[in-house]
Chain A
Amino acid sequence: MSNELLKVENLEVQFKSGSTVTKAVNGVSFTLNRKENIGIVGESGSGKSVTATSLLRLIPSPPGHISGGKILFEGKDLLTLSDKEMRDIRGNDISMIFQDPLTSLNPVFTVGDQIMESIKLHQKVSKKEAKQKAIQMLQLVGIPAPEKRLNMYPHEFSGGMRQRVMIAIALSCNPKLLIADEPTTALDVTVQAQILELMKKLQDEFNTSIIMITHDLGVVWEICHKVLVMYAGNVIEYGTVEEIHDHPMHPYTWGLLDSQITENIEDHEMLTTIPGSPPDLRQEIKGCPFAPRCSYTQDICFSKAPEMVEVKEKHFVACHFQTKENRLNRKERSTHVRAVVKS
């Protein structure tokens, strides 16, 4: 058994509406090993959620359309599977949890029904066995008095409890891969800490790999081994969390790290920001998508799109000035800050 669980090659996703084509995902590649967690970070519109839903072929089509690339799951290309084969994989080998646990649970069925449904869908078990398994799952995700809770409806649960239920459903078939799309964004910090703790614990128990979609770098540091930084549908940097945190290379990643508010920021110092806003993906982007907001640009940035280069072992960057031979020097923060405030 190879250690490689998922290999995504050059994934491209487009949305068509009338004559406009939105390139939501533009050549995303990464590999994920067993028991490994990868974080996909980016701001809204960066294509991180579309990437995740495309892995399960769940993007609404039309208007969505996976226009290129390969998704190799245990060596099989998911894009060549029939709809039926794909359904067998969903929930069974790969499951997904979403940001809003209230809307992803059906309000008219009890929590127990919904867990049991997912178990029975993929495993040949009797109703009694399914119920046993459901109780076991609820217990596992830390829901007290699971026998009683089984007969309750989603609205009777708090946000954190609902996300626990979602995790119970997602893990009920021992998936090899769990895709979590902003699972803690809607939750309070204390509850977020609980849920992340729970995910780490369950991962050890179930040997599941996790793809964590988030805009919060804190969550990435918390739970992931690797991280993929996305901007305007492109991966601009990819590497281990330690590498990305300690030696970030792309100017966008620098900006992202600098705009985090951390304990180290002095009292009345201005925050570093990335000026401007992300590009409109409906328009053809020439050159590097980050160029209009980047403070290190030269002519080439506006004419040629940079390639992903492995600058160090397991550290990939898409920037013209970050190659094996050349390095871009990160400007000192304070000068950068002043420049931004003035503009």
Chain B
Amino acid sequence: MAESQAILQASDVVETNERSLFKKLIRNRFAAFGLFIMLLLILTAIFAPILATHSPDKMNVTKTLLGIGAEGHLLGTDNYGRDIFSRLVYGARISILVGLGAVLFGAVIGSLLGVIAGYFGGKFDSIIMRIMDGLSAFPFILLAITLMSVLGQGLLNVIIAIGIGNIPGFARVVRGQVLSVKQSEYIEVTRSLGAKHGRIIFHHVLPNSIAPLIVYATMSIAGAIISEASLSFLGLGVQPPTASWGSMLQDGKNFLVLNPHMATIPGLAILITVVGINLFGDGLRDALDPKMKV
């Protein structure tokens, strides 16, 4: 009887752990704030058609360059008379898709390559890392431009192009981490228990390599959002008049002196997003560490 009770207790373990991950995250005030911003953004992106007061692409030559708080236009209008608030709301879709998508793409492929290179070493390591070196030898923008011209335009291709640019960074971060984790005695122990490579990699090596990966990923999201802006500016990103924060920023740059709100509003949006994601990432890293008992 006592035994079965103990088993019941043990079966609770997994659930309490999962619950406590979210709890730990929420208890960290900064992480909670980050999570709040991210949720807000995602909701904004999803409900953009409801939130937007105007069509984001609709021009109105009679109402160009209105300031913040102008009648009917909460955040004013741009040089074509388009409602900035509506463009911001729709732009969130592009920015989030590109930011998360490109990083996810880069992180998954990069981590996989990094794990293979670090864990198996030898020839795998040399070949993979030399390819990564080659990839990162190109200036990022040049690489993206080349890829875009090969792939053709479109949102998915923007994501892939920026994602590929992110691969070498992730591969390098993960490989370094794997190299050190691989040396740990508990990996040797697991081998001595008869575990196969797959189990060792996915149950022991990767979970212990995740912390720097998360930090790097959150920082890369910011980079990806900005890269998308650069590509849009060069005419290789999303096609005008589709709104993205990057393209709004680029549009606003010519009016920086007289109508600073055109550039500062998308700029602020990017800033807040990036800060939010970073705070969330830090919190997630801490929450994943079993030693942190918040």
Q: Do chains A and B make direct contact within the complex (CB under 8 angstroms)?
A: no
- Chain A residues in contact with chain B, CB under 8 A? none
